[in-house]
Structure 1
Amino acid sequence: MKPIPGALSIGQDIELHGTRFQVNAFDGGAVVLSAPGSAPAMIKIGALYADPSFKILDQPKVRRRFTGSSPLFDSLPPAVRDRARWLEGHITEVLDGVALNEDAERPPRSEYSVTVHSLRQREKSKCAELKLLGEDISFSTFQRLRIAYEREGIIGLTDQRLSRATPLSGQTDPRVVEALQTMLERNIHESSGTLDRLIHQVRHQLEEEHGVGVVPVPSRATFHRLVKKLAQGRHATGSARTRRTLAQQPETPFGSVYPVRPGELMQIDSTPLDVAIELDDGIIGRVELTALVDVATRTICAAVVQPTTKAVDAALLLARCLTPEMMRPGWPEAISMAASALPYRSMRSIDERLEGAADKPVITPETIVCDHGKAYLSNTFKTACRSLGISIQPAHPDTPTDKPVIERTLQSVGTLFCQYVTGYLGSSVERRGKNAEAQAVYSLVEMQDLLDEWVVTAWQNRPHEGLRDPLSPQRVFTPNEKYAALVSVSGYVPVPLGPDDYIELMPAEARVINSYGVKIRHRVYDSTELNPYRGQGSGINALKDRWEIRWDPYDVGRIWVRNHHDGGWITAYWRQLHASPQPFGEDVWERGRQIVATRTGNRASEEAIKAAVDGLLARAAEPSPRARKPSAQDRRTVARNKATSKHDWAPPEAEKPTPPMDKTAPENDLSDAELAKIVPLKIYDARAEAERWW
């Protein structure tokens, strides 16, 4: 029986574990094998084919017939293709007795019958026929074409010079190619230059390794063509930023994680916002956008705009993610959660905070992927995530492909939102218009309002390419529609935050409660509630008997002291708060310390820093002709602080202790002493936010 190509039949010889066997019989799903000098053995056919050492010997060749279209063959000239098809008809008639495109039921001509004549006889007959047709093809040439056709198909019947793959470097000396590749790798982190610099570097490298004049350097035109081939996709003489980004991509296929429920995987990052903001007193500056994106639904769970991203900003971003976005005056009812694609009724029955919420879901993070920025690796952010049961997954250094969703989302904010805002600066200097900074009209608070409304109105209801249905690729979901589909399977679990949760999101330090209070950042804080604990230790060995302190970088007027003895928190106010009716943040305080340190050269005292800060605020608010004109850094610092102090975060209701009075007043005048006017910065109240937001 003639063996069938690709099939196992009785009488065939096979090789298994280096031993030659013959197939004797088949018994159901098993095959009987025999070898000389040994008893027959039986093995399952599935196990035989799964064994990597299995091989069928004397396997008849399978002729490859490329009857369909091939991009390589279709790219050849028409005359070449026509001749190849003409040769294919004659060769297939020799091989099968009937030409490829002829009727298979037509009997073969007598000189090409495969049962009467051998292959050699049929080849000689074909050569004689072609000679009569005017095609003088020798017998050896026809055999070569027949073998090429059996091995490569119809492409083997064409001129191989037309389809041959040429070396990437052509005929250039391999030493020149190696030197050029070395220079391209070395220039990844250097500033971009021209091709002339690259030629000079390669020539210098060749002279150092092989000597002057030993390796001939190709001409300028040849070198340009060589660089174009070897540096393709590297931006060797283009954008240095793009070149570094491409070099940081992993060589292996990109790994992908496909979360199946909202909050399973989130990504966080910051980027400069491409819009000029009017901070204060006409100061124009740039701000940073920090966003938290859910990978499963592509929802922008929270996005804040601040002059600079700090650890407390990243921590408070978690609170905004866990808190509903409430409807604001002027927003249309169409973007309310009750009128959206979200399952409002079922979620409203579980979480009463959703009453009057806008069309943006509340998602509880499980894992957050971040880069190695100081704000995300700080103890403040780590502690906030730990208190909420969130896992942090730092990305690999200099590997933006570890968090591609947030990287692309921040770019989309620039193209879909920023470019339509007055004061748009463009993504780079070369894209910036003339006097673009002069068009800035929005303050930091107004920009935050615009961004919040855009996220709810546009982003959450815009079809996203990353949310295509895998079973129906033509359908694209919006973030809200994807959330509605996933939450119906995974469920909705609200996580309300209280005042203690809010304080836990603040930066923490360990300090001693002295007789005069708590000193932090050269400022002294005191409260009557600290009286029982002055001069005492906390009893916490891990803190070296010190007390845990929480503080708000945007309001230096108060701190929170954890009561390790009786539980809860103690609010302590700045001792000189009565002399500073205008609150200011850590940026202004540090700037004042720098001014004093520059002026005196010694360690700054609290009083000196206080006077410097007051003078700075006074000069920036009401500059006097005789006063020293504030520097650009002074004005920028004050502007950033004032812009930050205008946010709508409210302090927790549970903290209403009486601020300390001026201890410098006589004791007999305490009854008439005027209490210090407390003007704290508005901060984020995570517990009551749902009722009092806007």
Structure 2
Amino acid sequence: MIRPSALRVEDRVIFAGQAHTVVAFSGTTIRLLSDAGETTVVALSYLLAAEDFELIGAAPAPRVESVGLLEAMPEHVVAAAREWERHLVEIETGLPPGAAADARPRPEYDPMTQTMAARDKAKAAELTAAGSKTGVRTVQRMRARYRDQGLWGLVDTRSARAAKPTGHVDERVLAAAVRVIGAQTGTSTGTKSRAIRQIRELLDDEHGPGVVELPSRATCYRLLEVLSKGRHTFGSAVTRRQTANKPPRPYTATTAARPGEQVQLDATPLDVMAVMDDGVIGRAELVLSIDIATRTICSGVLRPVGAKAVDAALLLARSTVPEPMRPGWDQALAMEASRIPHQRLVALDARMAMAAAKPVIVPDTVVIDHGKVFLSEVFLRAADTLGISVQPAHQQTATDKSIVERTFASINTLFCQHVAGYTGRDVTRRGADVAERAVWSLPELQELFDEWVICGWQTRPHDGLRHPFNPDQATSPNDAYAALVAAAGYVPVALTGEDYIELLPADWRAITDTGIQIEYRTYNSAELRQWAGQSSGVTAKGGRWEVHHDPYDVSRVWVRNHHGHGWITAPWTHHTVVGQPFADFTWRASRKIAAQRGVDDTNEMAVAVILAALLRRADTGPGADRVLARTRTAREMTNHLPAELTVPPSAAATVPALPAGTAADEESAGEESGAVEVVVGEVVPFGMFDPFADDPFADDSGVRR
């Protein structure tokens, strides 16, 4: 209806708060002359985009119709608006829309002979005669709205009103309901009747008893339904808390362009029951690190629930040092293969080859939560040593490390549910005999998980992982690593075995003639023996030597050679009795069992024998002694004498009292013994020493000799 305004020489414009005159054009630039006589050259796009730009005296430019809004309106409302548009165009131009080229205006609407006021009066009379009573003022108002808003200004606004979900409820009731619903986030799920009672109490406290009247009970229920929509106020408490923890900012995908650019760390209990060192069934905790760019599981550490700072630090060490480069890894793997009572996923040689092919990713940045494990000094110092930037996620914001959270769900689906002892993700999905099915010990479960990572996860195409050069193709972590390394143009140099030792926990110990002692374990070797009784030269530590050990394999330690270079490897002196790697928490469990049996828990050989039997029992599963093991660990075992001793009267003076704990061991005998008869004068030969027996010091009758 109105042609767009044009900018010409000598036009007057408002720019930068002043009136200017257009004096010249040059390409896309315009020369302006202000009323103060100052000349300005400005780009056309910059001039038109200025907030205060205005073309003085020009007709307003037409507005683009709100087509989207019109489509949401009923058809009869849009038709009425278009009918009004036809009449208004005729008033303005003299001809209705779509008129023929040779058409002439009707006399009452001819702009050449009739004023605008006369045309408005004629249109009002025409509409009234047609049956729609219309005044001149109405015609003028509709014409002004059409000029300002276009066709949308002619729409009946009653049809454009938005629905009011809460109806006509008192605003005070509405505000109280919103506050009550917000307070339900951290509480246990209740019913709507409880919420109504809380709303009533809140209104009475704020406005006085009975001042604000509640609507009917049905209206209150509908109100709560509307206000709690999508918040799960009266549903699952877990879902409600998770929904409330969602960040208000827009979601953005976590992306990385090269391996190690960002690695996410987290810990969670694994949905598998395992046989712990004392024979009791329990869940293990998985501490995991995953690379964002390639979805490679850099490392995963399994331990009893309650991860420590050293576990997180060890996670970094295992991530940055390939398995074949870790000190003694091949020997440890061979020993594990000799004791695992099941068919391996892959042969030992293939296991070593695939472990060597697994990508080694050195992180640039690690994303952690606010758990004390990751915020500990041990972990932060290890990250600082490796030059890794630590980025804490926001509090209660799982979306900041969504990749590792989703990986835990994938591990449950692809690994845990296929392992004996699978618990399901919650109690509603748990079987009736989960504890009966648990057969794997913690070291075996760790071995199974490591094999699954290199055989299953790393070679399996992931739907959420796309090839960088072919987005339509799902790819595996190994293939994604190969592609991204080629695109990055460099390969990170992995740490060495000595670097791995540097990242392990350290103690300071003296070297004696017997070696080094850590938690009543003695370590010695021929190379270490030559430094017995000598000072390390580190005066700050009183001449003691720096000793590093792996908490998950304390069968050997590494001593820094302060008078030379490198490390001195010292194996545990009683390792031949055990014959396999073991963790520090397994050693502590063995000492606890020794103390419960009345054996000196500082006696290294005695604890080693119990440790061997403990590892054997963990390998074979709980068996028939599960109930007894649970009973034994549920109560505190005290040193006590046998309930009854039968001794011949003639020998009573010559038989000394048995020390505490010398009765037949309840666990090795399978049941608690009653009276034990001690025969005097009979020579009882020593039996064959069996280090794997539950009590190697007891004979066939259960009595220690």
TM > 0.5 between the two? yes
Deviations 1:43-70 (A, max 9, x none): 31355446555455556434434374x2
Structure-2 residue corresponding to 1:268: 265
SS in 2 for 1:273: strand
Provide the C-alpha distance between the structure 2 equivalents of 1:254 and 1:76, rounded to a whole number of angstroms. Answer: 32
Tell which structure's C-alpha radius of gyration is larger.
Answer: 2
Deviations 1:316-342 (A, max 9, x none): 46535653899x999899xx99xxxxx
Structure-2 residue corresponding to 1:21: 20
Letter in 2 for 1:493: V
Provide the C-alpha distance between the structure 1 equivalents of 2:480 and 2:624, rounded to a whole number of angstroms. Answer: 61
Provide the C-alpha distance between the structure 1 equivalents of 2:92 and 2:543, rounded to a whole number of angstroms. Answer: 94
* CA-CA distance at 1:490 after TM superposition: 0.9
Change (3 A) 1:390 1:32: closer
Greater Cα offset, 573-582 or 51-60: 573-582
2:224 to 215, 224, 227: 227
Structure-1 residue corresponding to 2:504: 506
Structure-2 residue corresponding to 1:536: 535
Change (3 A) 1:290 1:119: farther
Provide the C-alpha distance between the structure 2 equivalents of 1:133 and 1:610, rounded to a whole number of angstroms. Answer: 114
* CA-CA distance at 1:404 after TM superposition: 1.8
Change (3 A) 1:143 1:581: same
Aligned: 1:200 with 2:186: no
Structure-2 residue corresponding to 1:406: 404
SS in 1 for 2:629: coil
- Equivalence map 1:110-259=2 (5 Å): 110=106, 120-166=117-163, 169-254=166-251, 258-259=255-256
Change (3 A) 1:188 1:624: closer
Change (3 A) 1:236 1:211: same
* Contiguous gaps of at least 5 residues in structure 1: 338-352, 637-676, 679-694
Change (3 A) 1:392 1:42: closer
Provide the C-alpha distance between the structure 2 equivalents of 1:120 and 1:201, rounded to a whole number of angstroms. Answer: 63
Aligned: 1:427 with 2:425: yes
* CA-CA distance at 1:205 after TM superposition: 2.8
1:551 to 546, 549, 552: 549
Structure-2 residue corresponding to 1:31: 30
* CA-CA distance at 1:260 after TM superposition: 1.9
Aligned: 1:43 with 2:41: yes
Question: Is the contact between residue 274 and residue 445 of structure 2 (CA under 8 Å) also seen in structure 1?
Answer: no
Letter in 2 for 1:74: E
Letter in 1 for 2:198: Q
Number of aligned positions between the proteins: 610
Provide the C-alpha distance between the structure 2 equivalents of 1:276 and 1:380, rounded to a whole number of angstroms. Answer: 29
SS in 2 for 1:15: strand
1:391 to 384, 389, 392: 389
Deviations 1:220-260 (A, max 9, x none): 33333333343333332333333333333333334666422
Question: Is the contact between residue 380 and residue 505 of structure 1 (CA under 8 Å) also seen in structure 2?
Answer: no
Structure-1 residue corresponding to 2:463: 464
Provide the C-alpha distance between the structure 2 equivalents of 1:27 and 1:39, rounded to a whole number of angstroms. Answer: 20
Question: Is the contact between residue 276 and residue 282 of structure 2 (CA under 8 Å) also seen in structure 1?
Answer: yes
Question: Is the contact between residue 304 and residue 448 of structure 1 (CA under 8 Å) also seen in structure 2?
Answer: no
- Equivalence map 1:452-491=2 (5 Å): 452-453=451-452, 456-457=455-456, 460-465=459-464, 467=466, 479-480=477-478, 482-491=480-489
Provide the C-alpha distance between the structure 2 equivalents of 1:113 and 1:81, rounded to a whole number of angstroms. Answer: 28
Change (3 A) 1:357 1:146: farther
Provide the C-alpha distance between the structure 1 equivalents of 2:130 and 2:222, rounded to a whole number of angstroms. Answer: 46
Question: Is the contact between residue 379 and residue 507 of structure 1 (CA under 8 Å) also seen in structure 2?
Answer: no
Provide the C-alpha distance between the structure 1 equivalents of 2:389 and 2:241, rounded to a whole number of angstroms. Answer: 30
- Equivalence map 1:244-323=2 (5 Å): 244-254=241-251, 258-277=255-274, 284-303=281-300, 305-308=302-305, 309-311=307-309, 313-314=311-312, 315-316=314-315, 318-319=317-318, 323=322
TM-score normalized with structure 2 length: 0.70
SS in 2 for 1:224: helix
Provide the C-alpha distance between the structure 1 equivalents of 2:389 and 2:66, rounded to a whole number of angstroms. Answer: 56
Change (3 A) 1:613 1:240: farther
Change (3 A) 1:475 1:496: closer
Letter in 2 for 1:404: S
SS in 1 for 2:41: strand
Deviations 1:277-327 (A, max 9, x none): 46689854333334332222333344455444455554246535653899x
* CA-CA distance at 1:114 after TM superposition: 6.4
* CA-CA distance at 1:185 after TM superposition: 3.9
Structure-2 residue corresponding to 1:586: 584
Provide the C-alpha distance between the structure 2 equivalents of 1:442 and 1:313, rounded to a whole number of angstroms. Answer: 21
Change (3 A) 1:480 1:386: same
Letter in 2 for 1:240: A
Change (3 A) 1:567 1:185: farther
Greater Cα offset, 236-245 or 131-140: 131-140
Identity %, equivalent residues: 38
Deviations 1:359-411 (A, max 9, x none): 86443322221223344344554455445443332223322222222222322
Structure-2 residue corresponding to 1:607: 602
* CA-CA distance at 1:20 after TM superposition: 3.4
Question: Is the contact between residue 461 and residue 474 of structure 2 (CA under 8 Å) also seen in structure 1?
Answer: no
Question: Is the contact between residue 512 and residue 547 of structure 1 (CA under 8 Å) also seen in structure 2?
Answer: yes
Two-structure CA RMSD over aligned residues (Å): 5.0
Provide the C-alpha distance between the structure 1 equivalents of 2:390 and 2:452, rounded to a whole number of angstroms. Answer: 29
Question: Is the contact between residue 13 and residue 56 of structure 1 (CA under 8 Å) also seen in structure 2?
Answer: yes
Provide the C-alpha distance between the structure 2 equivalents of 1:169 and 1:250, rounded to a whole number of angstroms. Answer: 26
TM-score normalized with structure 1 length: 0.71
Letter in 1 for 2:162: A
Provide the C-alpha distance between the structure 2 equivalents of 1:632 and 1:108, rounded to a whole number of angstroms. Answer: 107
1:367 to 348, 362, 365: 365
Deviations 1:146-178 (A, max 9, x none): 444454554444442333235665433333343
Provide the C-alpha distance between the structure 1 equivalents of 2:470 and 2:8, rounded to a whole number of angstroms. Answer: 44
Structure-2 residue corresponding to 1:654: none
Change (3 A) 1:53 1:455: farther
Question: Is the contact between residue 578 and residue 608 of structure 2 (CA under 8 Å) also seen in structure 1?
Answer: no
* CA-CA distance at 1:539 after TM superposition: 2.0
Provide the C-alpha distance between the structure 1 equivalents of 2:630 and 2:401, rounded to a whole number of angstroms. Answer: 40
Question: Is the contact between residue 297 and residue 467 of structure 1 (CA under 8 Å) also seen in structure 2?
Answer: no
* CA-CA distance at 1:109 after TM superposition: 3.8
Question: Is the contact between residue 302 and residue 321 of structure 1 (CA under 8 Å) also seen in structure 2?
Answer: no
Deviations 1:93-149 (A, max 9, x none): 54566656x379675744656677665555444444444544434333344444444
SS in 2 for 1:268: strand
Letter in 2 for 1:235: H
Provide the C-alpha distance between the structure 2 equivalents of 1:553 and 1:484, rounded to a whole number of angstroms. Answer: 33
Structure-2 residue corresponding to 1:662: none
Provide the C-alpha distance between the structure 2 equivalents of 1:621 and 1:451, rounded to a whole number of angstroms. Answer: 21
SS in 2 for 1:274: strand
Provide the C-alpha distance between the structure 2 equivalents of 1:64 and 1:624, rounded to a whole number of angstroms. Answer: 83
Change (3 A) 1:562 1:221: farther
Letter in 1 for 2:568: I
Change (3 A) 1:493 1:166: same
- Equivalence map 1:515-534=2 (5 Å): 518-521=516-519, 523=521, 525=523, 529=528, 532=531, 534=533
SS in 1 for 2:234: coil
Change (3 A) 1:635 1:379: farther
* CA-CA distance at 1:428 after TM superposition: 1.9
